[in-house]
Amino acid sequence: MMQKRTAIYARPGLLLIAACSYVFGATALAQAPTPAPAPTAAPAPTAAPSMRDLEAAKSAMGDRRMQMTEKVTAADFKQIDGGPLLLAAYAVVWAVFFIVLVYTLMRVRRVGDEVKRLESQLEASKSDGA
């Protein structure tokens, strides 16, 4: 006969999820970024731009276009602040998924064995009673 399990062992995935959310939630709160300062308003233009200003803006735009076509190297990239935490979260999610999958497969196998046992008992009782 199957024994009745306590609630904490009946759902091991839920216990693992709760523990991970507690640990990683506290870590995420400790590493929370500080809010950026509010942007200041730009001063209103006082006069129409001169030809010199337009030429300067045009040359600056050309410089930006040249910068956009430059080759990007690995040194140009910055590390994401929560990168290791994000990888840990993905690893935990996949681990929980596989644990629940294995647990479910084990239960399905146990139920199949129980069905086979009950079928054999039913056949045996039919043959004894006939």
Residues 22-76 pLDDT 10s: 666 655 555 556 666 666 766 665 677 777 877 877 777 766 665 666 666 666 6
Residue 105 and residue 107: Cα distance in Å, rounded? 5
In a domain, 28, yes or no: no
Parent domain of 110: 86-130
Residues 90-116 pLDDT 10s: 999 999 999 999 999 999 999 999 999
Number of separate domains in the chain: 1
In a domain, 59, yes or no: no
In a domain, 122, yes or no: yes
Give start and end residues of each alpha helix (H) in the chain. 7-10, 12-30, 51-68, 83-129
Residues 10-26 pLDDT 10s: 566 666 677 667 666 65
51 to 59, 65, 128: CA distances (angstroms)? 12, 21, 109
In a domain, 101, yes or no: yes
In a domain, 93, yes or no: yes
In a domain, 118, yes or no: yes
Q: How far is CA 18 from the centre of its chain?
A: 15
Specify the pTM: 0.38
Residue 37 and residue 34: Cα distance in Å, rounded? 9
In a domain, 74, yes or no: no
In a domain, 99, yes or no: yes
